[in-house]
Amino acid sequence: MLDNYMTLAEGNLQVRYVEGDERFANETLRKLMESFALLSEYFRLEESSLQGVRAILVPNRSEYDRLVVGLLGVDIEVPSNPGRVAQPQRTDIVFLSASAYRQHSTYYYDAAEYRRLVVHELVHVFEEHLSPDIEASPRWWSEGLAAYLSGQWKHADQFRFRQPAMDGIRLGSVPSIQEIQADVGLCYDWGWTIVMFIEHTYGRDTIGKVVRECREGNVLATLGDDPVAFEKRWREWLPKENRRF
Ligand SMILES: [Zn+2]
């Protein structure tokens, strides 16, 4: 499936790419190495328990669809939405190469934003590796974790994780956790604020504990917290924390 792809590797990390994408292959590998080390520390990962992480940079939309469906086995609409530029599954991540953004996506390349995207996708790989049941993991939790740990929440960039929550907090228009859970868009917009609240309240080891122990997708039950009290405290924390966001 990857016959025409070249390989760049360092330790247990690999980038596959086609001719012309050497620059992005290098950039991706460097960022993977750096963030793999940081995330291993964050999640207190046993050394070498996560092996064979591979990023595949594809040169166009049709190749993206071929590999996401054929290699990852992920069921997506084809041709896929131009808003899609990365898809993780197990230890693989298919990226639309940044060299193809202008022609095959709704994005333009920005080095800092691209690097945060690489971290975002690697967070998904870590979560899947550590989770006892990734399929049951709620979307707000997975996307919140990825947006929070990648630092995407700090930046008003093309991926727009920050602004919706900032606007909502400013306008006093904050959805309930139930509403967030029920709406894909709200999961991306607000998930990171809940993850951040959990980390600030319980510490980072609790984030790792939830990832490792959340079996039925009930994050708040894994925290051992009363959901009503938890939501109340999160809501009160948001506008206060907002000043430091
Ligand atoms: Zn994601």
- pTM assigned to the model: 0.97
Between the CA of 204 and the centroid of ligand 1 the distance, in Å, is 20
Is pLDDT of 52 > 90?
A: yes
| Residue listed under structure tokens 């070498």 | 48
The C-alpha atoms of residue 78 and residue 232 are separated, in whole angstroms, by 42
Give 179-216 as a DSSP string: HHHH-HHHHHHHHHHHHHHHHHHH-HHHHHHHHHH--S
Residue 48: per-residue pLDDT: 78
Between the CA of 145 and the centroid of ligand 1 the distance, in Å, is 9
The class that CATH gives domain 6-130 is alpha beta
Residue 160: per-residue pLDDT: 93
What integer is the mean pLDDT of 128-135? 96
| Banded model confidence at residue 176, pLDDT cuts 50, 70, 90 | very high
Query: Could you give phi then psi for residue 167, rounded to 5 degrees?
Result: -65, -45
| Banded model confidence at residue 122, pLDDT cuts 50, 70, 90 | very high
Is pLDDT of 49 > 80?
A: yes
In what helix (H) or strand (E) does residue 79 lie, and over which residues does it extend?
none
In what helix (H) or strand (E) does residue 131 lie, and over which residues does it extend?
none
Reduced to 3 states (helix: H, G, I; strand: E, B; else coil), residue 10 is strand
Between the CA of 120 and the centroid of ligand 1 the distance, in Å, is 6
Structural domain spans, the chain? 6-130, 134-242
CB atoms within 10 A of CB 64: 28
